[in-house]
Chain A
Amino acid sequence: MQSDTLELDIWRGDRDGQFQAFTLPLRESQTILDAVTEIQRTQDASLAYRFACRVGMCGSCAMIVDGIPRWTCRTRVVDVQRKGKRLKLEPLRNLPIVKDLAVEMRVFFDKWRDAKGYFEPGDTPPADFAVVAPSSRERRAADVAIECINCGICYSACDVVSWDDEYLGPAALNRSWTLVNDVRDQGQKSRLEAVAADAGCHSCHSHMSCTEFCPKALSPTQSIAGLKRETMRAALRGEV
């Protein structure tokens, strides 16, 4: 291989697909997403993949690059390509493949909902604004976990998700934990019940693949540990 070309094997089709080889010029500061886009624009317009923001905010461009789930708009080819080696691109694990590099994210977001990963304002609006001190324990716990971009990388990396298709998964539980720490939220009982159930936080084996690969450097493992403690406490007090 010449040093000015980039060779890739890209997954084509659905579950029963296969890899297709592509070659294109290696460019300075080229990201994996740039390479895929260039292939689609100049070589094969039928190549399916997803992206939106291109700056690491929307979470739509995740793929498996040489076996590792990554956000491809923020992953430069030179940083991940082992010298002279071809790059292998696959769709995320643990989700149905729509086509090529695009997966169906529906289950991922359904679980987000099932883990009650949304703010529950309650029936009556509070009389005044809630005061949440930035230094409070709850606020700090929520801050640490809040920057999730819903990319699905952790979900793809989690082995428990592959064994147990009901397991809510790291992203949904991480979001749930930020809400457990939201003192304004009125839906804590049903949230703790949702995450204490069989396919919830107690199914996590704490093997930290989610934390290892999260592009935002979050630790769903730690959030899930928080949920384990909180649900245990609630069970002891008879609150769930």
Chain B
Amino acid sequence: MNPAWTARLLLAQRATAIVLAFAVAIHLATIIYAVRLGLNAGEILGRTRGNALFLAFYSVFVIAASIHAPIGLRNIFREWANWRGYSLELAMIALSLVLLALGLRAAFAVYGA
């Protein structure tokens, strides 16, 4: 890959890492808070349904993760499996899209359910 792009990927990886650091912390705190009074689907959906803040937060979380994870995985594949070149870039773009699609689908599902 063109070095300018490699540098940008790393920049994107670091930037999304910062977002994820906060997002993961909030996510974990939310889980602990949510299960306080026992956990069931109905209760959780009751809190998330129609909650725009919830949707916005998890959308940002999902977008950051779908950028961050494939970049890291790409490095691991390069280093440990000697996988290089276009096939690797395409696979990682595909992975990014899959993460994005599955993540947003889940976020919208609990928002709109």
Contacts and interface: CB of A to CB of B under 8 A. Distances in A.
A138 B70 CA distance: 36
Contact of B14 (A196, A197, A232): A232
Interface in B1-20: 1, 3-4, 6-8, 10-11, 14
Interface residues of B, number: 14
Nearest to B84: A198
Contacts, number: 42
Given A232-B10, A235-B11, A236-B11, A197 B3 contact: yes
A35 interface: no
- Interface class of chain A by DSSP: helix
B80 A234 contact: no
A193 B10 contact: no
Contacts of B47: none
- Interface class of chain B by DSSP: helix
Contact of A202 (B6, B80, B84): B6
Interface of A: 160, 163-164, 193-194, 196-198, 200, 202-203, 231-232, 234-236, 240
12 contacts: A193-B4, A196-B4, A196-B6, A197-B3, A197-B6, A198-B78, A200-B6, A202-B6, A203-B75, A231-B7, A232-B10, A240-B3
Interface of B: 1, 3-4, 6-8, 10-11, 14, 75, 78-80, 84
